[in-house]
Amino acid sequence: MKHLSQFIFSPIGSKIIMALAGTMIFLFLIGHVLGNLLIFNGSDSLNTYAHWLQNNPLLWVFRLTMLGLLSLHIFIALRLYIQNKYARPISYQVDKDIQLGFSEKTMIVSGLLIFIFIIFHIGHLTLGWLPTTSLAIDNNIKMVNVYENIVNGFQVSWVALFYIVSMLIIGLHLHHSLKSLFQTLGFHNHNLHWLVYRLTPIMIAVLVLAFISIPAAVLMGWIQ
């Protein structure tokens, strides 16, 4: 136990925990997008899937686990961010980036924007904050019509655009995160180079495009 607490508060240990929490969230995103893509299979597929999820006895266990992982990820990120600011109290007159990329430089900003998006997303499609979504039971199908909620929701163009931009920001955040993951967990050698620098950008692009395809398809009128 003593070793665990020492590890958690160490500069490397806390990063490893943040990386593992982030990885779990990333794996959730893959599952989430696969479920979402059922929308292209018609309303019955998506609604049946959504109904199964909503009535699953493990739903709240899963939700609370995700909330815990997200809170842990954000808490450690902010703690490290503050520590890092203290480590250089006087900044440089000329602060030049030698090889620093946009994704690396904007991690804290993209992270905060994603957090705002998550709140909006839950409010929009789970809690029905906007008038376009209804949590009422659809009498025809005897369950909440998730398909209709999504289509109605994304027919409001600013909502669809907000989702699309947010997905791009998630892609930006993941671009640095996935590369970092291997480094933080100590896997960084020549054999893994192709995985880190070739495969992960493709994985991120596929994930982001899959998410974007839904609001884009509604906006274009392909899903009605």
Per CB under 8 A, residues contacting another protein are: 3, 6-7, 9-16, 80, 83-84, 86-100, 104-105, 107, 176, 179-180, 182-189
- Closest to another protein by CB, 57 vs 89, is 89
- Closest to another protein by CB, 19 vs 218, is 19
Nearest to 36 by CA among 210, 219, 220: 210
CB of 4 to another protein, least distance (A): 8
CB of 70 to another protein, least distance (A): 20
CB of 180 to another protein, least distance (A): 4
- Closest to another protein by CB, 88 vs 142, is 88
CB of 199 to another protein, least distance (A): 17
CB of 10 to another protein, least distance (A): 6
- Closest to another protein by CB, 147 vs 182, is 182
Which string of DSSP letters, residue by residue, matches the chain?
A: -HHHHHHHHSHHHHHHHHHHHHHHHHHHHHHHHHHHGGGGG-HHHHHHHHHHHHT-TTHHHHHHHHHHHHHHHHHHHHHHHHHHHHH-SS--SS---SS--HHHHTHHHHHHHHHHHHHHHIIIIIS--STT---SEETTTTEE-HHHHHHHHHTSHHHHHHHHHHHHHHHHHHHHHHHHHHHHTT--SGGGHHIIIIIHHHHHHHHHHHHHHHHHHHHTTS--
- Closest to another protein by CB, 63 vs 188, is 188
- Closest to another protein by CB, 104 vs 148, is 104
CB of 171 to another protein, least distance (A): 18
Return d(Cα 150, Cα 215) in angstroms, integer: 8
CB of 84 to another protein, least distance (A): 4
- Closest to another protein by CB, 142 vs 190, is 190
Return d(Cα 187, Cα 94) in angstroms, integer: 34
CA distances from 198 to 25, 52, 185, 193, 194 (A): 21, 36, 19, 8, 5
